[in-house]
């Protein structure tokens, strides 16, 4: 079946100037032609959707989400306060809502098991395309080692699709990477520092994993065709991650502290996923140590984003949603613009840039011939104000792989 969207102003995700009165021709799940409407043709029996007066953008991508997480509370994190089935259905609702806001692809940075991806692919539930990490690999005491403040290891029911993720020593690290891939991981998530919300004593500048362990992790992941996304905020652990050759630095709050690090990322082509959204939440955290860390890192984080822009480090948008609930993922675009990106740069960070970070730039992230037809029709122009993308009423149409997944257009006069 052929479907055509005509008349919209097209922002194709490549950074090219918007095209007025464009047409996008969709054959099956892919884009077969795109450009100014006047230069394109399509079969007489094609379904033509009048998109005039709107802006058409690529399907949005969140490069760092935790779709199956629903709060930082200990009982919630350890799955103690509701049945697993209730939590799974809550997650299904988040998947549906995320897609309906124009997010057609999400990289889950830990917590979502491979069954959700199958359910989406089989059409059992609506949701974005998923790229899964399953679990955060770390050494004993790292952020993947989920021990309670009382010292109890109460991870509860063992889900074989979320296999153990604590490993010490190069051989053990390789084994855990292989186990994660066996369970369905598309990407390997690790952490070489603490974070704002980690336990007291393992903060943003405290290291986890040795260089030898990280080299084993990266080598094994790459040998299995998986990229490595590394939670790293600052200090020696951040340097270890870059020296080991991870593919993306998640958070990267203190990248500005060592003048050579962002230059190294630019040369190595390492992606920077700042996840500014989560720290807005942490700055208001009820836990004093979390609040203090988030306040202390803020100026460094903004400086790191600015310097990354100057040096041409590729930036991808990610919210780190989940612990702080599931606000609208496009919040990250608002904060990226506040940090110094232009609206066009922020939009690219959530489309072409994020696609490249996931290694999917030949499939998604831009509106170009041959790409999967992931499209969002927006009432208004997000280049004038990226916060338009936070308003469900303005996300008029969401198309994923050529299929209409959300349609909020008001009925047209016949």
Helices 288-311 and 331-339 cross at an angle (nearest 10°) of 70
Contact 228, 190 (CB under 8 A): yes
Exposure class string for 9-31: b at 16+ Cβ within 10 A, else e: bbbbbeeeebbeebbbbbbeebb
How many whole angstroms separate alpha carbon 314 and alpha carbon 374?
22
Question: Is 145 one of the binding residues for Zn ion (CB under 5 A)?
Answer: no
Q: How many residues bind Zn ion, per CB under 5 A? A: 2
**Nearer to Zn ion among residue 186 and residue 320 (C-beta):** 320
Exposure class string for 257-286: b at 16+ Cβ within 10 A, else e: eeeebbebbbeeebbbbbbbbbbbbbbebe
Mask for 222-261, x = binds Zn ion (CB under 5 A):
----------------------------------------
Query: In whole angstroms, how close is the CB of 56 to Zn ion at the nearest point?
Result: 31
Query: In whole angstroms, how close is the CB of 143 to Zn ion at the nearest point?
Result: 9
Sole window of 70-78, 101-109, 148-156, 341-349 interacting with Zn ion (rule: CB under 5 A): 101-109
**Nearer to Zn ion among residue 58 and residue 128 (C-beta):** 128
Query: In whole angstroms, how close is the CB of 327 to Zn ion at the nearest point?
Result: 14
Question: Is 320 one of the binding residues for Zn ion (CB under 5 A)?
Answer: yes
**Nearer to Zn ion among residue 204 and residue 343 (C-beta):** 204
Sole window of 167-175, 314-322, 335-343, 359-367 interacting with Zn ion (rule: CB under 5 A): 314-322
How many whole angstroms separate alpha carbon 414 and alpha carbon 412?
6
Question: Is 12 one of the binding residues for Zn ion (CB under 5 A)?
Answer: no
**Nearer to Zn ion among residue 65 and residue 374 (C-beta):** 65
Query: In whole angstroms, how close is the CB of 383 to Zn ion at the nearest point?
Result: 29
Across-strand partners of 129? 105
How many whole angstroms separate alpha carbon 246 and alpha carbon 271?
9
Query: In whole angstroms, how close is the CB of 236 to Zn ion at the nearest point?
Result: 21
Query: In whole angstroms, how close is the CB of 254 to Zn ion at the nearest point?
Result: 17
Query: In whole angstroms, how close is the CB of 320 to Zn ion at the nearest point?
Result: 4
Residues 258-287 that bind Zn ion (CB under 5 A): none
Query: In whole angstroms, how close is the CB of 128 to Zn ion at the nearest point?
Result: 17
| Residues contacting residue 54 through CB under 8 Å, at least 6 positions apart | 7, 8, 9, 377, 378, 379, 380, 396
* Cα Rg, the chain, nearest whole Å: 21
Sole window of 105-113, 303-311, 345-353, 386-394 interacting with Zn ion (rule: CB under 5 A): 105-113
Query: In whole angstroms, how close is the CB of 290 to Zn ion at the nearest point?
Result: 14
**Nearer to Zn ion among residue 109 and residue 399 (C-beta):** 109
How many whole angstroms separate alpha carbon 102 and alpha carbon 81?
31
Q: Strand locations in 28-135, DSSP E?
A: 30-36, 47-50, 55-58, 60-65, 103-108, 129-132
Report the run of H or E that residue 403 belongs to, with start and end: strand 403-407
How many whole angstroms separate alpha carbon 305 and alpha carbon 303?
5
Among residues 5, 95, 109, 405, which is the contact residue for Zn ion, using CB under 5 A? 109
Query: In whole angstroms, how close is the CB of 355 to Zn ion at the nearest point?
Result: 19
DSSP 8-state class, residue 199 = P
How far are the Cα atoms of 191, 197, 235, 310, 312 from residue 207, in angstroms, in the given order?
Answer: 9, 15, 7, 28, 27
**Nearer to Zn ion among residue 139 and residue 323 (C-beta):** 323
**Nearer to Zn ion among residue 256 and residue 320 (C-beta):** 320
**Nearer to Zn ion among residue 109 and residue 255 (C-beta):** 109
Sole window of 78-86, 96-104, 108-116, 143-151 interacting with Zn ion (rule: CB under 5 A): 108-116
In Å, the largest CA–CA distance within the chain is 69
**Nearer to Zn ion among residue 111 and residue 235 (C-beta):** 111
Summarize as ranges the residues that interact with Zn ion (CB under 5 A): 109, 320
């Amino acid at each position: 079946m052929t479907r055509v969207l005509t008349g919209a102003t097209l922002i194709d995700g490549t950074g090219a100037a918007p095209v007025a009165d464009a047409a996008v021709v969709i054959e099956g799940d892919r884009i077969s032609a795109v450009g100014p409407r006047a230069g394109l043709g399509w079969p007489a029996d094609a379904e033509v959707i009048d998109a005039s007066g709107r802006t058409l953008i690529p399907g949005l991508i969140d490069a760092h989400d935790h779709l199956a997480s629903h709060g930082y509370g200990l009982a919630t994190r350890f799955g103690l306060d509701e049945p697993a089935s209730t939590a799974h259905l809550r997650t299904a609702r988040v998947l549906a809502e995320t897609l309906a806001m124009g997010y057609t692809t999400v990289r889950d940075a830990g917590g979502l098991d491979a069954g959700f991806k199958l359910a989406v692919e089989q059409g059992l539930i609506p949701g974005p395309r998923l790229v899964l990490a399953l679990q955060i690999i770390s050494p004993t005491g790292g952020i993947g080692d989920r021990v309670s403040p009382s010292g109890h290891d109460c991870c509860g029911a063992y889900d074989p699709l979320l296999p153990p993720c604590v490993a010490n020593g190069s051989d053990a690290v390789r084994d855990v990477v292989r186990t994660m891939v066996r369970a369905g991981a598309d990407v390997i998530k690790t952490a070489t520092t603490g974070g704002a919300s980690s336990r007291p004593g393992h903060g943003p500048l405290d290291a986890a994993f040795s260089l030898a362990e990280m080299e084993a992790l990266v080598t094994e992941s790459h040998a299995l065709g998986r990229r490595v996304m590394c939670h790293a905020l600052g200090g020696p652990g951040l340097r270890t991650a870059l020296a080991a050759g991870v593919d993306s630095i998640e958070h990267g709050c203190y990248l500005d502290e060592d003048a050579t690090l962002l230059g190294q990322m630019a040369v190595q082509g390492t992606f920077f996923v700042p996840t500014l959204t989560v720290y807005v939440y942490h700055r208001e955290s009820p836990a004093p140590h979390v609040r203090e860390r988030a306040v202390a890192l803020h100026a460094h984080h903004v400086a790191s984003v600015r310097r990354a822009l100057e040096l041409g480090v590729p930036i991808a948008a990610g919210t780190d949603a989940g612990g702080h609930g599931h606000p609208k993922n496009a919040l990250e675009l608002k904060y990226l613009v506040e940090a110094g990106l232009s609206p066009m740069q922020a939009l690219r960070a959530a489309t072409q840039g994020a696609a490249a970070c996931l290694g999917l730039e030949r499939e998604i992230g831009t509106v170009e011939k041959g790409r999967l037809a992931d499209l969002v029709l927006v009432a208004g122009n997000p280049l004038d104000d990226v916060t338009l993308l936070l308003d469900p009423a303005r996300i008029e149409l969401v198309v994923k792989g050529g299929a209409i997944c959300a349609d909020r257009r008001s009925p047209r006069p016949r």
